[in-house]
Structure 1
Amino acid sequence: MQAAEGQAPDNSRNYRVGLIVPSSNTTMETEIPAMLRAREQVLPERFSFHSSRMRMKSVTREELAAMDRDSDRCALELSDARVDAMGYACLVAIMSMGLGYHRESQRRLHEVTVGNGLPAPVITSAGALVEGLQALGAKRVSIIAPYMKPLTRMVIDYIENEGIEVIDSVSLEIHDNLAVGARDPKAPAELWKQLNTKGADAIVASACVQMPSLASVPLIEAASGLPVVSSAVCTTYALLKSLGLERRAPNAGTLLSGRY
């Protein structure tokens, strides 16, 4: 369509983003679109969001394993929509399946899309958190997590297996996933003060895509002087990278500043 006289031509491209979502997750479809909508205010690309859900109500190893088995169906359904990239948003589900499992999950789900004749890159929030911290050059981090302490320990082991030391953590010990999603997104801006951050290279404001934290990321950065990420911020970073786009979104912290 020709631009009206006096208006700049629209050079934007529309990207379809597939979201593989736990059935009780209420945050992925708000925070990730919020970051990309904010990005649309400063960059030309446009995004639409398309979800497929896996059953999960309580954050237990048993429910997480059952949910992960359902992710193949979700990838197949989303590939029917010819999405440009997919994000699997349950960090702890991936991490509960064994060290380094995000690589296997991403490979398998991508192969599902290839088998459907509609190939799309697939990223996971677990792999994205590791990738985001590595992009920042972070070797030592402190994290906030909503999980019961044994699950937080599993997350710490997973991150440390990727070469990043976790020097301290806060576990909120909430097993009900809806309760996690109902938390105040500015709560991490106070919780981080409980962390030992001496010697840390970065802070993880939420090691869970379901726990809202986007509003806290710039507040913690301003107060701590450290780069701050969340699972949702890192997932957005990885989605943009998989699409070959500039990794920039306003008010989402250092990782999405466009410098990485």
Structure 2
Amino acid sequence: MSTPELACETAPVRKPEGLSRIGLIVPSSNTTMETELPELFRRQSEATGHRYTFHSARAGMKNVNKEELLAMVGKAADCAAAVSDADVDAIAYACLVAVMAQGPNAHVDSEAVIAKAAEDNGHPAAVTSSAGALVRTLQEMGVRRIAMVTPYMKPLTQMVREYIEGAGIEVLDAVSLEVADNLAVGCLDPQNLPEIARNLQREGAEAIVLSACVQMPSLPAVQAVEDELGLPVITAATATAYEILKSLDHEPSIPGAGSLLAGAGSKLPTRI
């Protein structure tokens, strides 16, 4: 008995209505971005009914030092091509310091490389990076002065500080938790962040960056710190989520993650 030949599909498969696919490029040791972003978009789905799925490509990186960060950058195009195979609608390059380590305004070139790789692979997608999302979101908010928390060693924190200040935003205070191992960064307790934020030098600050790193867990503390200190609180992860939603033309409707993502009718807190 002959076996019937399998029909080859020649027409592109259309995504289901009411579904967006989001691609992530993350360090191989990242354990946080693939939990915090899906949780944010789960809340968005509950509010709007629109569904989101996440599809990741991983680039090798264990220790947060300049050498490994630069090596990761060289893998971005291959990762973008791989994740675009899932026909994603948006791609987020989710390693803030890997981009910032390349020098001032490096997010522009990094995002262009990723966009070109996806387009060349036949699946163009909107592209953001956590580095670009953080500075652009602060600029869009009209913020000129911030205080921030990072998990990095002090030299890397200084590099991040200079990168943000190169975008026209003064960093009044920057706390370094000095954790070099990226897996250990993902194990930091976000419940410690409110106390750390209280001790920031906030005089004159217009916003707090509670985690200038997508690997440092912060989501459980964002709303609490914003409510207590009366300043807008964002993180690298919430800024990335905000830009993904913008790229999809979706109005943010995410409760419990700060006023940035709360959506229409929400007001940024005023400094107290």
> Is the TM-score greater than 0.5?
yes
SS in 1 for 2:73: helix
- Among residues 183, 188, 213, which one is paired with 2:188 in the alignment? 183
Structure 2 partner of 1:23: 28
Give yes or no for the alignment of 1:110 onto 2:115: yes
Partners of 1:135 and 1:76 lie apart in 2 by: 30
1:148 correspondence with 2:181 = no
Post-superposition Cα deviations, 1:24-73, rounded to whole Å, max 9, x if no partner, equal 00000000110000111111211000000000000000000001111111
Q: Which residue of 2 aligns with 1:8?
A: none
Render the CA deviation track for 1:131-187: whole Å, top value 9, x for unaligned.
221222111000000000000000000000001100001000110001100011222
Is 1:160 the equivalent of 2:170? no
Distance across 1 between alignment mates of 2:224 and 2:139: 22
Q: Report if the CA contact (8 A) 2:32-2:216 is conserved.
A: yes
Which of 126, 130, 148 matches 2:135?
130
Task: Tell me by how many angstroms 1:12 deviates.
Answer: 6.3
Question: Secondary structure in 2 aligned to 1:41?
Answer: helix
Q: Name the CA distance, whole Å, in 1 between partners of 2:174 and 2:140.
A: 21
Aligned partners of 1:12 and 1:46 also within 8 Å: no
Note the aligned Cα RMSD (angstroms): 1.2
| Correspondence for 2:251 | 246
Find the aligned partners of 1:194 and 1:149 in 2 and give their Cα distance. Answer: 17
Equivalences, count: 250
Superposition deviation, residue 248 in structure 1: 2.7
CA distance in 2, matches of 1:38, 1:217: 15
Distance 2:229 2:215 in 1: 24
TM-score normalized with structure 2 length: 0.90
Cross-structure match for 2:79 = 74
Of 204, 207, 210, the residue aligned with 1:199 is 204
Find the residue that maps to 1:169 and give its secondary structure.
strand
Structure 2 portions without partners, runs of 5+: 1-15, 267-272
* 1:163 partner SS: coil
Taking the aligned partners of 2:108 and 2:70, their CA distance within structure 1 comes to 16
Structure 1 stretches of 4+ moved >3 Å: none
Question: How far does the alpha carbon of each residue in 1:213-254 deviate from its partner, in whole angstroms, 9 at most, with x for none?
Answer: 001101111110000000000010011111111123111101
Gaps of 5+ in 1: 1-10
1:241 maps to amino acid: K
Which of 91, 94, 109 aligns to 2:96? It is: 91
CA deviations on 1:96-123 (whole Å, 9 max, x unpaired) are 0110000000011101111111101110
Where does residue 53 of structure 1 map in the other structure? Answer: 58
In the alignment, what sits opposite 2:11?
none
Give yes or no for contact 2:44–2:252 (8 Å, CA) kept in 1.
no
| Residue type of the alignment partner of 1:122 | V
Larger Rg: 2
Q: 2:100, 2:107 within 8 Å by CA — same for their partners in 1?
A: yes
